[in-house]
Amino acid sequence: MPNEYYSQFFEEYNEPFKSILLFLYDTSSTLFDLSFPLSVVFASFALISNLFHLMVLTRVSMRNTSVNILLTGLALTDSICMLNTIFDNFEYVTRPADLKCKPPSPYWSQILLQILINLEDISRRISPWIGVIMAVIRLLISSFPLNLIIRKMSKPVFGFLSLLACILVSTVIGARIYIPTTVIEIKPWVPKKECGYPANYSQPRFQPGPRDIDISEDLMTFLQLLDVVFRNLPAVVLPLLTLLLVRALKKITAERLQFQSAPKEPDDTTKLVTLMTVLHVITECSIGICLLVTFVSKSSLVQIITWNLYYFFTLFFPLNSIAHLIISILLSSQYRTCVKETLSFLKIWKEEPVAQSSQGSSSRTIIVR
């Protein structure tokens, strides 16, 4: 049930609409409360899976296509986002009930937090665009397999340049936030007597604050507009690319039925990119719809409900990140081979040839786990 403050938002509605909104509010509030501890758990699993994903993708045998290079960039940006999620939400979940006795964070902690926030901002902006670029590459190659210029898009250098372009654009857009911001010292923290600190004890306190720098207001407005477009455009483009990729995949399947000698790997790569694009659509559209409703709606109650749902839907980010590893294992034989090599290197998976009897039969390979 809503507290006294939130109860005022229900007074303008009549039954049965009021009961429906009350149910939605209670449900969204419960999901909101669950989102913080769950995000720490999911992000921890996602960080571990992405680190292993990076170990596999950075092997020499995997650095042979633009899609694999882009997947490496995606795993790196996801790792940064997951690290920031763990750092931010873990502090929120584990904070004491009585905050007045908790000392402030030291200067180095605030600096580290600002660096992590800025890196997360850049990475979060890049992540869906990597999905867009991968989808465009596979769509063009699948649609025009004999075009030599388009075939060059599958080269690793194209993936690297695309990734570099995304990083540069995202960094420039984010400059409106991290260039004018620094860490400043504010009024010292003085604990209450009941906290048990010595008499006259105080501790310096730091927080993000404005930097003394003059930046054109028109430039800041332009960067803000560019940020809105850059963040939300993938939510519009990705569904269209998904439909086109599914259509291209059906065309490839039909052609393989006619020509049994057609290569299998491009088909698997297109399936991999298509599935990842679908996951990006689910993640970006759910977040985008919540933000759209929040900004368009004039009802404070609807804004509160959608904002609660927004935080819950952010759980799709770590789940989407974990799915990248699973999809790669299921659909790429090259990736599975590199996984075995990586596990063998880590002494988790070892292949030992065992000789057969002297009858001349061929040797076997026993997998030891």
Domain annotation for the chain: domains and CATH numbers = 39-346 (1.20.1070.10)
- How far is 262 from 7, CA to CA, in rounded Å? 64
pLDDT for res 285: 82
Region at 81 (left for phi over 0; alpha for psi -120 to 50; beta for the rest): alpha
Rounded to 5 degrees, what are φ and ψ at 285? -70, -40
What is this structure's pTM? Answer: 0.79
Q: Tens digit of pLDDT for each residue in 153-206?
A: 999 999 999 999 999 999 988 887 877 788 888 888 888 888 888 888 888 888
Stretches where the chain sits below pLDDT 70 are: 1-14, 92-99, 255-267, 345-369
- How far is 316 from 124, CA to CA, in rounded Å? 13
pLDDT for res 363: 40
Q: Are 28 and 36 in contact (CB under 8 A)?
A: no
Q: Tens digit of pLDDT for each residue in 152-163?
A: 999 999 999 999
- How far is 38 from 42, CA to CA, in rounded Å? 6
- Residue 161's identity, in one-letter code, is L
